[in-house]
Amino acid sequence: MSVLLFAENSQGEFKKATFEAATYAYDLAQAMGTDLQAVSVGQVTEDKLKELGKYGVSKVHRVADERMNAFANTAFAAAVSAVAKEIDAPVVVMAQTYNGRAIAPRVSVKLDATTVSGAATLLDPAAKFKAERLAYSGKGVETVDVNGGKIVVTVKTNGYKVAENPTAVTVTDADFQAAEQDFDAVAKEIIKAAEGISLTEADAVVSAGRGMKGPENWPMIEELAGYLGAATACSKPTADMGWRPHHEHVGQTGIQIAPNLYIAIGISGAIQHLAGVSSSKTIVVINKDPEAPFFKVADYGIIGDLFEVVPKLNAYLKSKN
């Protein structure tokens, strides 16, 4: 009986979200008095798999089926649940990424388990596996109890620390063979919408809205993001007007993020925008209107004209680089 981590990879590489989920799973295994094992699907080098030992994994079950180098939700769910059954895992942990969200419910059905999606706190084994998750687009916090049985939990991205828990790790080939019909739907090709830092994984995000007046003014936002090693984001209307690409749109109808630093420039702070960013650890708002709703949730605010403030920030950061 071990906690099982689905160690998701992206083209053979593990990303921060996987290490967050691994840390979460390790802390949970410790609280349950057991160890942590992982299942890896698709081709990943043995060295990379052993890297999981740094995060507390004692055994990796490898499903190195080359058909699974591309994402196929039915086949992935079958692989994860086969390993979960083999080791009799009481809890299966995965990151709440697009793939994690796609397979968690399928794994739950196969294991007859309860799903806790987007957990923001560690499940508490001493109290009915109680955990908190965000509800109503981040405006509320929901507490969930699990009344017995197995659990599949997805961990909110950027919602849990990454900590190293060095553990001796072994790698073994899982006794699993995917069926032909598991590949009815396969993600054949993934084209990255943008180069650079992924918005959901970024530690810092510089975001701008309609206060920018037009797309021609965005170079100063990109410059600021460059100095901070940040990803860029935008409000919905700026994406709708074609000022910015849609994949940058954050909010209720866009991407939901929780970086350590979110800088909102010329964005009013409508509830639909806040729904996607209010979990950010530190929020800095630059707006010329002191009544802008965004100031109510800001940790730091600058009341001023962005066309004066942002160039000054850039000049300062440039002098420090």
Ligand X SMILES: Cc1cc2nc3c(=O)[nH]c(=O)nc-3n(C[C@H](O)[C@H](O)[C@H](O)COP(=O)(O)OP(=O)(O)OC[C@H]3O[C@@H](n4cnc5c(N)ncnc54)[C@H](O)[C@@H]3O)c2cc1C
Is the four-CA dihedral 209, 215, 220, 221 of positive or negative sign?
positive
Smallest separation (angstroms) from ligand X to the CB of 221: 12
Nearer to ligand X, 100 or 266 (CB): 266
Is the four-CA dihedral 205, 210, 216, 220 of positive or negative sign?
negative
Smallest separation (angstroms) from ligand X to the CB of 220: 12
Nearer to ligand X, 51 or 248 (CB): 248
Smallest separation (angstroms) from ligand X to the CB of 213: 7
Smallest separation (angstroms) from ligand X to the CB of 98: 17
Q: Would you tell me which residues interact with ligand X (CB under 6 A)?
A: 209-211, 235-238, 251-254, 266-268, 270, 272-273, 276, 287-289, 292, 305-307
Of all helices (H) and strands (E), which one includes residue 80?
helix 73-86
CA distance 237 to 78: 41
Distance of CA 158 to the CA centre of its chain: 5
CA distance 272 to 268: 11
Characterize the bridge pairing of strands 91-95 and 3-6.
parallel
Smallest separation (angstroms) from ligand X to the CB of 253: 4
Nearer to ligand X, 3 or 277 (CB): 277
Q: With H, G, I as helix, E, B as strand and everything else as coil, classify residue 124.
A: strand
Nearer to ligand X, 89 or 264 (CB): 264
Nearer to ligand X, 18 or 287 (CB): 287
